[in-house]
Amino acid sequence: MTASTSPSRSAARPRAPDGLWFGKDLSTPEPIPEAAIERAVALMRSGRLHRYGEQGSGSAEASLLEQEYAAYAGSRYCVAVSSCGAAMFLALLALGVKPGDKVLTSTFTLAPVPGAIAHAGATAVLVETDADYLTDLADLERKAAGSGAKVLLLSHMRGHITDLRAVLDICGRHGVAVIEDCAHTMGARWDGKHTGTWGKVGCYSSQTYKHINSGEGGLLVTDDDDVAARAILMSGCYMMYDQHILKPDAAVFERWKYRTPNFSMRMSNLAAALLRPQIATLADRALRWNHIYATLVRELGHAAHLRFPRRPEKEEFVASSIQFTLDLSPAQIERFLSECDLRGLYIKWFGAPNPVAFTSNYEHWHYLDAKPDSPRSMGVLRQLLDLRTPLSLTDADCALIGKIVVAASAVASSAT
């Protein structure tokens, strides 16, 4: 395998001489819970898949999901939308971002984050990432003071949470509103408080590879009346905002309803029906994911040239994946990935010269208005490796992964 291609699934491909072989598909999710399947089937029998209806009684699945997720996260409002990318786009517009405005955002993130900024017609101003994969607070201070941006779209990328009290302190001093991208931190907390509830808006994902699964979907949370009303209108309520259980007063909608476009980004009742029973599983899933993470840290820790990020004490993370720094040259990392592939283990690399599947870096986003001035970030990303950790991984699987990484790093480090 090269850094620019996904791994082959062919059983006939070459294997390593040491006989180590993993071979599991790390992108295989857990099955949808039976309670969610039953709810979805009953909904399909009713035919009421759209969340809004001109007539009829009772609350839509999407509205019930909003109520239940807001209660879980500790937020006044929740708006269910079509994706986390849609939630970020709506959050930007709801905070008044206009074409040509500058928006601060993270260098360590995925393409939908700068994509939401581009969708809003704004310009991304990238903030450096430090060696622990967190937003560099000193660079945030400089760019919040000097860029003219009034919004920070902060990515808790791969579940790594920057000190949110420090972020809000910096942004508060410079009049910058904070949107949290929590696609990888549903259920996670900083200092006891849910991510997504620190800033003005929080955005979550229910895409298949996230913490709860509806195939595609997003949730926007906020305590702000105007943000909630604008998000409901922009998501596409067709003026049927009264059908939301959680909604601001009618006077708030009166301020916005004739000035707000419909972007048709609402969530379907079917997606919501799949998600509602999964909220109750989040605590158990967090325990299981974090056990896998701790086991992999122990097993991978035997490899040479490998370093894990420091995890702050106030960070209550949910580790649905694991990242590590491999202190090798790009050519040696290419060799490392090839050696892992020979042993049936697919590891992603954020420093790859070309974007691969779900992994890319800001040098690949040529639509950015200006060449990013982020040399420290690229130094971090060039050595950053990423491994998906499905809940199906056993302790024996983790031990085998550790042996493969140890063997692959030994071969790679001796290569020139």
What's the pLDDT score for residue 373?
75
Return d(Cα 292, Cα 303) in angstroms, integer: 17
In the predicted model, is pLDDT for residue 90 greater than 50?
A: yes
Our CA angle for 203, 359, 17, nearest 5°, is 140
**What is the predicted pLDDT for the residue at 236?**
98
pLDDT-derived band at 10, boundaries 50, 70, 90: very low
The b-or-e profile of 194-225 (16+ CB within 10 A means b, else e) is: bbbbbbbbbbbbbbebbbbbbebbbbbbbebb
**What is the pTM for the complete model shown?**
0.96
pLDDT band at 375 (very low <50, low <70, confident <90, very high): confident
pLDDT (0 to 100) of residue 371: 72
Strand order from edge to edge, sheet including 348-349? 306-307, 321-326, 384-388, 348-349
Query: What is the fold of 282-414?
Result: Aspartate Aminotransferase, domain 1 (3.90.1150)
CB 215 within 8 A of CB 271: yes
Q: Tokens standing for 267?
A: 């969530």
Instruction: Quick: pLDDT tens for 11-27.
Output: 567 888 899 999 999 99
Return the amino acid letter for 121. G
Average pLDDT, the chain: 95
- pLDDT per position as a tens digit, 263-309: 999 999 999 999 999 999 999 999 999 999 999 999 999 999 999 99
Among 147-161, 236-250, 356-370, the least confident range? 356-370
The percentage of residues in the chain with a pLDDT greater than 90, rounded to a whole number, is: 92
In SS3 terms, the chain reads as CCCCCCCCCCCCCCCCCCCCCCCCCCCCCCCCCHHHHHHHHHHHHHCCCCCCCCCCCCCCHHHHHHHHHHHHHCCCEEEEECCHHHHHHHHHHHCCCCCCCEEEEECCCCCHHHHHHHHCCCEEEEECECCCCCECHHHHHHHHHHCCCCEEEEECHHHCCCCHHHHHHHHHHCCCEEEEECCCCCCCEECCEECCCCCCEEEEECCCCCCCCCCCCEEEEECCHHHHHHHHHHHCCCCCHHHCCCCCCHHHHHHHCCCCCCCCCECCHHHHHHHHHHHHHHHHHHHHHHHHHHHHHHHHCCCCCEECCCCCCCEECCCCEEEEEECCCHHHHHHHHHHHHHCCCCCEECCCCCCECCECCHHHCCCCCCCCCCHHHHHHHCCEEEEECCCCCCHHHHHHHHHHHHHHHHHHHHCC
pLDDT 10s digits, 176-227: 999 999 999 999 999 999 999 999 999 999 999 999 999 999 999 999 999 9
- Quick check: 402 pLDDT over 70? yes
Q: Where are the domains of the chain?
A: 34-49+56-280, 282-414
pLDDT at 1: 41
Tokens encoding 85: 């990318």
pLDDT at 12: 61
Fold held by 34-49+56-280: Aspartate Aminotransferase; domain 2 (3.40.640)
Q: Are 103 and 122 in contact (CB under 8 A)?
A: yes
Of the pLDDT bands very low, low, confident and very high (cuts 50, 70, 90), residue 4 is very low
Query: If you search the block for the tokens 């639509």, which residue do you land on?
Result: 367
Alpha carbon distance 338, 343 (integer Å): 9
Output the pLDDT for position 408: 98
Q: Are 218 and 82 in contact (CB under 8 A)?
A: yes
Give me the pLDDT at residue 74, please.
98
